[in-house]
Amino acid sequence: MSHPARLLLVDDDEMNRDVLSRRLLRKGYEVELAEDGQQALDLVASRPFDLVLLDNMMPGLSGIEVLRRIRRTEAGNELPIIMVTAQHESENVVAALQLGANDYITKPVDFAVALARIESRLALSAASRELRRARDLYRLASRASEDGLWDWDVNSGRVYYSPRWKSLLGFSEGEIGDRVEEWFSRVHPGDLPAVRAEVASLLEGRGGSLEIRYRIRHKDGRYRWMENRGGVSRDTAGRALRMAGCQTDITARQTIDAETSLPNRLWLEEELRAAAERPSDPGPAGPERPGLLLCELDGFDQIDEALPDGRVGHLMAAVAERLRGVLTSMPEAASLAACRPADRQFAVLLRQAPSVDYARVLAGRIQSALNEPFSLDGETLFATVGVGIALAGNSTGDPLLRDASAALRYALEHGKGRIEVFQKELREHDRQTLRLESDLRQAVERREFEVHYQPKVNLESGEIAGFEALARWNRPGTGMVMPDLFIATAERTGLIVALGTQVLERACSDTVELRRSYPHLTVSVNVSGRQFAEPDLVEQVARCLASTGLPPCALHLEITESMVMEAPENARIVLHRLRDMGVELKLDDFGTGYSSLSYLHRFPFDVLKIDRSFVARLTEGAQGIEILRAIVDMARSLHMTVVAEGVETQEQAILLKALGCPYAQGYLFSPPVGLACLRELLPARFPVAATALTNTRC
């Protein structure tokens, strides 16, 4: 105690007061005197005392009565009272102790005994005052803290949960008891084993401190993310006595995507789980049924690869901003929430989706907003977005996220800028895709692919100048499968690399055989994007030429402009290496992309294959002819040869020839055919302007 203790000495005997007070003053105490009960009560009411020495036998108010009255306002641990009684007053001593006296001394007062008792009482009340202060401080601190405090008495098994601990879970003070199960029973089943193990290991002395994260169920039924830090106090034998710590709500930290500031997948999964558990509410607008809209930029991988490091994050942030803009512009904005469930995906949760049409309209608005060009570091980027939609009522009962993902997958696989609504058939499509993938894997291992050849005709002479090798899959139990049903899947799974090698080897060795009779023949082989990106493509081609004995000039490789545009610098290097080897390079499907011929001329292409869409427009009017004329003229001025694809009519062939296009392939001459059939076709002539030969022979 910093100041000297202030004592109140109450005694009607002046002599007693005088002697005792002088000795106490000498011991350093402050002493005030009261000569009767009333004076004592007035003094206690007027200023604070640390202890009262109270004579029992007094005229007027007795000591017992004064004690009773003081105790009405002052608790025993706040103002200790020592009764001073005569030797024979033992029943008064008992009564006084029952009324809240803290101790007693007898007359005549033995000063040493009195002093010892005064000191021990003062020490006790100081300790209890300190304890009270610490408790108050703790209570104040815990009230001010954002963390929920807990204190677990290991022996009794009781846990003190601070009011904040309870309110973090949505409960008020009286709603949560003091058992440890109040805590554990609310922890997410997926996280509970880890939580129990951590706590047990700490109790058993294996860990230094507790630091765990888990989900815990809130009163509203949703799970919140908590971080819990704590420690243990032990007895001298090392046994745990108490474990205490604090629980912090980290839901926001755990469920927000840093790049876009949108909620992440954890948030979405929890929202969907809570929505699925909630009984559907048949409100005025019909039952509440949640819906989910999942979006992904078409060709995300290519965009990601094409952008410099880290830039795709900026793009995603810009996408998120536009998405927010669309949602806030909707009248039902309050029931819509955007989030980012995966690096490449965005989602809109519709808490109340009125109809499929509504979801489609929303998807359309999102697409329009994202179709506007993006500006990244001065570069302009155009994007389209695929959208998958699933509504609770329409789905198969599977979680919405799975249904929406299936719809999105379908949308992305079937073109750009598509909107697909989940239907049960999509599940079947997913199953088929899975089966296709595994069958395709086997097909590569078992070499189930065949190569068909489509002749390329010299329009001047009518002779077959060469042919294009096109893969066919002889799928057991199904028959011949066309490339549009398996090339995309082979590309996605990477199987195209092995498949492409098989086609290349077959095509080269077949051509070697055919060239024995027709030495001028050349073969064109398609190279996929994935193959083109293989670091050893050039070596592979060289190995194949060496092993089959085909001269490099007899091999043409067909490459589409999108492959070149994905990584132009790399493409230029690979193309030059192939060209240096003597292999001829064809730009396939020209006109289906966006690049200009003058740009593509920077790459060493020898041949331009005009896409069949241009050929089809030839006979539709003057404009079609003019476009083709411009392409042929420009190719010629850039010293490139031209091959027209998809020629189906004599009229088209005549026009192409007149425009100066030297080569053509198409159903007019022959569809792709097997090796045996090709062998029969080779001696034939296909005079343009005369009646075309049909392929009835094959």
Q: Which residues bind ligand C2E (CB under 6 A)?
A: 454, 470-471, 482-484, 487, 500, 503, 526-528, 558, 588-589, 612, 645-648, 665-667, 672
153 or 589: whose CB is closer to Mg ion? 589
Residue 465 interaction partner, one of ligand C2E, Mg ion, none, beta carbon < 5-8 Å per kind: none
Closest CB to ligand C2E among 389 and 481? 481
Tokens of 555: 């091999």
Q: Residue 308 CB, nearest distance to ligand C2E (Å)?
A: 29
Give the one entry of ligand C2E, Mg ion, none that residue 487 binds, where binding means its C-beta sits below a cut-off of 5 to 8 angstroms depending on kind. ligand C2E
Whose CA is closest to 642, among 654, 627, 659, 626?
Answer: 659
CB of 250 or CB of 565, closer to Mg ion: 565
Min separation Cβ 665 and ligand C2E, Å: 6
Interacting residue ranges for Mg ion, rule: CB under 5 A: 526, 558, 588-589, 645
* Cβ proximity to ligand C2E, 154 vs 487, nearer residue: 487
Closer CB to ligand C2E, residue 339 or residue 514?
514
Cβ 659 to Mg ion shortest distance, Å? 19
Is the CB of residue 168 less than 8 Å from the CB of residue 146?
no
Residue 672, contacted partner among Mg ion, ligand C2E, none, CB below 5-8 A by kind:
ligand C2E
**What b-and-e string marks burial along 410-430, b requiring 16 or more CB atoms within 10 Å of the CB?**
bbbeeeeebbbbbbeebbebe
Compute the distance between CA of residue 585 and CA of residue 569 in angstroms, rounded to an integer: 17
Of these partners, ligand C2E, Mg ion, none, which one is at the site of residue 470 (CB under 5 to 8 Å by kind)?
ligand C2E
50 burial level (CB within 10 Å; 0-12, 13-18, 19+): buried
| Element housing 687 (H / E) | none
Q: Locate 324 and state its tokens.
A: 């927010």
Alpha-carbon torsion angle 409, 411, 412, 417, nearest 10: -150
646 binds, among Mg ion, ligand C2E, none (CB under 5 to 8 A by kind): ligand C2E
- Of 262 and 597, the one with the shorter C-beta distance to Mg ion is 597
Q: φ and ψ at 89, to 5 degrees?
A: -95, 45
Quick one: 418 or 472, whose CB is closer to ligand C2E? 472
Give the shortest CB-291-to-Mg ion separation in angstroms: 40
Tell the smallest beta-carbon distance from residue 350 to ligand C2E (Å).
Answer: 39
* Residue that is written with structure tokens 């703790």 in the block: 138
Cα–Cα distance for residue pair 631/652, rounded to 1 Å: 15
Nearer to Mg ion, 64 or 644 (CB): 644
Exposed / middle / buried, residue 635 (Cβ in 10 Å: 0-12, 13-18, 19+): buried
For residue 500, the partner it binds in Mg ion, ligand C2E, none, with Cβ less than 5 to 8 A by kind, is: ligand C2E
**Cβ distance to ligand C2E smaller for residue 228 or 454:** 454
- 3-state SS assignment for residue 183: helix
Distance between CA atoms of 681 and 74, rounded to whole angstroms?
118
**482 binds, options Mg ion, ligand C2E, none, Cβ within 5 to 8 A by partner type:** ligand C2E
Token pair of 420 as six digits: 């697909």
Q: At closest approach, how far in Å is the CB of 560 from ligand C2E?
A: 7
Task: Say how far apart CA 473 and CA 485 lie, in whole Å.
Answer: 10
Q: What is the 3-state secondary structure (H, E, C) of 235-252?
A: CCCCCEEEEEEEEEECHH
User: Shortest Cβ distance from residue 220 to Mg ion (Å)?
Assistant: 58
The least CB distance from residue 415 to ligand C2E, in Å, is 16
**Which of ligand C2E, Mg ion, none sits in contact with 11, Cβ below 5 to 8 A by type?**
none
Residue 503: name its binding partner from ligand C2E, Mg ion, none (Cβ under 5 to 8 Å by kind).
ligand C2E
3-class DSSP state for residue 157? coil
Helix 400-413 to helix 265-277 angle (10° resolution) is 130
Write the burial class of residue 238 (CB in 10 Å: 0-12 exposed, 13-18 middle, 19+ buried).
Answer: exposed
